[in-house]
């Protein structure tokens, strides 16, 4: 099947029909994504909100954590009900989980979603997932979940409005690192091109997503980069977020986005890590890699997951304990390659 010059794999078209079967007009639908939503999670759910609302469904975004400020320009008035997310999930006829298939990444919403009647999922991660059973549009070879929402709309011949196209473009742009990462496939560029043909303005999107940083974000980045440690003999580098840095700089977890790319950019580094203490006492580890280093495999050993070049995990223990465990595993992994 080919639409707008982009071929849709048959298995994705069939999966789109399965998801659409539970999205009848008049139904109440809650859209959600993982904690600390990124551009792909937000862009995908905003685009789907436009698609469903146009077709007469009562859709609401209900996220476990607030949408980051830099993505507010995408969110229509009245669409985001995250401040009462649990109630939205519990009262919905259908819940659509986007950009994640693991219930543990849904924070305080995990229990409500586990008990929901119908849970659909649109995702591009390699992890198997632990959501309740339901229709799935999952393709780990997709560059972003936004690519799959694009396929969903086109397989069903649901028109994409300019606002929906803009949201999907943000999803693809951010998950490919502005078309720099290895997941920047020819197909991803064709999809991006099809979205541009719908009137998307790439310069204004760049300004909103990448060129509107508050001062605190830049100062936070400076402080985190001061913790940089490099082990050239292993091709390993890491940075650590000081425990009180976010509060001191008036920053959020979203302001850490992209910092781990700096240690990854050092010549000879094959694996870069970022360590951050979470409010619940766990330590979040972000993994990034180059070459043949599969960080999804490495993160899976700590109960995490993601993609070959970008993954994450949340571990119990003190910051020092988690760093010792993860760095030891990272060195052993790198030395074996």
30 and 179 within one domain: yes
Residues 77 and 190 in one domain: yes
Res 266: pLDDT: 97
C-alpha 192/C-alpha 204 separation (Å) is 15
Question: Distance between CA 104 and CA 118 in Å, rounded?
Answer: 18
Same domain flag for 166 and 31? yes
Asked if 105 and 64 sit in the same domain, the reply is yes
pLDDT category, 133, cuts 50, 70, 90? confident
Domain enclosing residue 226, as ranges: 216-335
The answer to whether residues 114 and 86 touch, using CB atoms and an 8 Å cutoff, is no
Parallel, antiparallel or unpaired: strands 28-32 and 58-61: parallel
- Residue 117 sits in a domain whose CATH number is 3.90.1640.10
What is the predicted pLDDT for the residue at 4?
67
- pLDDT (average), residues 325-330: 97
**Domain end among 166, 187, 209:** 209
**pLDDT, tens digit (0-9, with 9 covering 90-100), for 16-47:** 999 999 999 999 999 999 999 999 999 999 99
Quick one: 266 and 322 in the same domain? yes
Q: What is the 3-state secondary structure (H, E, C) of the chain?
A: CEECCEECCHHHHHHHHHHHCCCCCCCEEEEECCCCCCHHHHHHHHHHHHHHHHCCCEEEECCCCCCCHHHHHHCCCCCECHHHHHHHHHHCCEEEEECCCCHHHHHHHHHHHHCCCCEEEEECCCCCCCCCCCCEEECCCCCCHHHHHHHHHHHCCCCCCHHHHHHHHHHHHHHCCCCCCCCCCHHHHHHHHHHHCCCCCHHHHHHHHHCCCCHHHHHHHHHHHCCCEEECCCCEEEEECCCCHHHHCCCCHHHHCCCCHHHHCCCCCCEEEEEEECCCCCEEEEEEECCCCCHHHHHHCCCCEECCCEEEEEECCCHHHHHHHHHHHHHHHHHCC
Biggest distance spanned by C-alpha atoms of the chain? 60
Give pLDDT, residue 105: 85
The answer to whether 32 touches 45, Cβ cutoff 8 Å, is yes
Residues 200 and 173 in one domain: yes
Task: Report long-range pairs for 288-296 (Cβ below 8 Å, ≥24 apart).
Answer: 288/260, 288/261, 288/264, 289/264, 290/264, 292/337, 293/333, 293/334, 293/337, 295/271, 296/126, 296/127
Q: Does residue 255 share a domain with residue 166?
A: no
Q: What is the mean pLDDT of the chain?
A: 94
Q: Answer yes or no: is pLDDT of 279 > 80.
A: yes
pLDDT confidence of residue 2 = 66
Strand partners, 312: 286, 305
Question: Residue 234 maps to which CATH number?
Answer: 3.10.310.30
Beta-bridge partners for 289: 271
Question: Where is the domain boundary, 209, 238, 261?
Answer: 209
Question: Predicted confidence band at 306 (pLDDT cuts at 50, 70, 90)?
Answer: confident
pLDDT tens digit sequence for 222-245:
999 999 999 999 999 999 999 999
Same structural domain, 179 and 249: no
What is the Cα–Cα distance from 96 to 163, expressed in whole angstroms?
20
Whether residue 127 is found in the same domain as residue 157: yes
CA distance 56 to 125: 30
Q: How confident is the model at residue 3 (pLDDT cuts 50, 70, 90)?
A: low
Of 209, 238, 263, which closes a domain? 209
Q: How confident is the model at residue 1 (pLDDT cuts 50, 70, 90)?
A: low
Mark whether 29 and 169 lie in a shared domain: yes
What's the token pair of residue 21?
């079967």
Residues 302 and 246 placed together within one structural domain of the fold? yes
- CA 180 – CA 272 distance, rounded (Å): 17
Q: Can you name the residues that pair with 119 across neighbouring β-strands?
A: 95
Q: How many domains does the chain have?
A: 2
Question: 58: Cβ–Cβ under 8 A, 6 or more apart, which residues?
Answer: 26, 27, 28, 29
Residue 274 contacts residue 306 (beta carbons within 8 Å): no
Question: What confidence score (pLDDT) does residue 5 get?
Answer: 75
> Do both 171 and 188 map to the same domain?
yes
pLDDT 10s digits, 87-116: 999 999 999 999 998 888 898 999 999 988
Average pLDDT in the 271-276 region? 98
Residues 152-157, mean pLDDT to the nearest whole number: 97
The full length of the chain comes to: 337
């Amino acid at each position: 099947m080919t639409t707008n010059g982009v071929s849709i794999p048959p298995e994705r078209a069939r999966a789109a029909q399965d998801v659409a079967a539970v999205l009848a007009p008049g139904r109440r639908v809650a859209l959600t994504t993982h904690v600390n939503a990124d551009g792909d999670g937000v862009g995908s759910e905003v685009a789907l909100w436009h698609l469903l609302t146009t077709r007469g469904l009562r859709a609401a975004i209900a996220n476990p954590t607030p949408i980051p400020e830099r993505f507010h320009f995408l969110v229509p008035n009245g669409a985001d009900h995250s401040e009462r997310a649990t109630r939205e999930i519990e009262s919905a006829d259908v819940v659509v989980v986007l950009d994640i298939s693991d219930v543990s990444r849904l924070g305080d919403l995990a229990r409500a979603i586990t008990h929901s009647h119908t849970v659909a999922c649109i995702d591009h991660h390699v992890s198997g997932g632990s959501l309740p059973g339901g229709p799935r549009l999952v393709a780990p070879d997709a560059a972003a979940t936004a690519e799959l929402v694009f396929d969903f709309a086109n397989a069903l011949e649901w028109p994409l409005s300019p606002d929906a196209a803009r949201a999907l473009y943000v999803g693809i742009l951010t998950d490919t690192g502005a078309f720099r990462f290895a997941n920047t496939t020819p197909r991803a560029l064709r999809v991006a091109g099809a979205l541009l043909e719908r009137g998307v303005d790439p310069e204004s999107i760049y300004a909103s997503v990448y060129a509107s940083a508050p001062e605190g974000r830049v100062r936070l980045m400076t402080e985190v980069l001061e913790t940089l440690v490099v082990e050239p003999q292993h091709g390993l580098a890491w940075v650590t977020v000081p425990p009180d840095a976010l509060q001191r700089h008036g920053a959020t977890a979203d302001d850490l986005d992209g910092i781990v790319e700096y240690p990854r950019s050092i010549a000879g580094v094959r694996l870069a890590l970022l360590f951050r203490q979470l409010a619940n006492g766990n330590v979040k580890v972000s993994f990034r890699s180059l070459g043949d280093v599969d960080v999804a495999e490495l993160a899976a050993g700590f109960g995490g997951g993601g993609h070959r070049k970008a993954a994450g995990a949340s571990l119990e223990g003190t910051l020092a304990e988690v760093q010792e465990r993860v760095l030891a595993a990272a060195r052993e992994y790198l030395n074996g390659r």
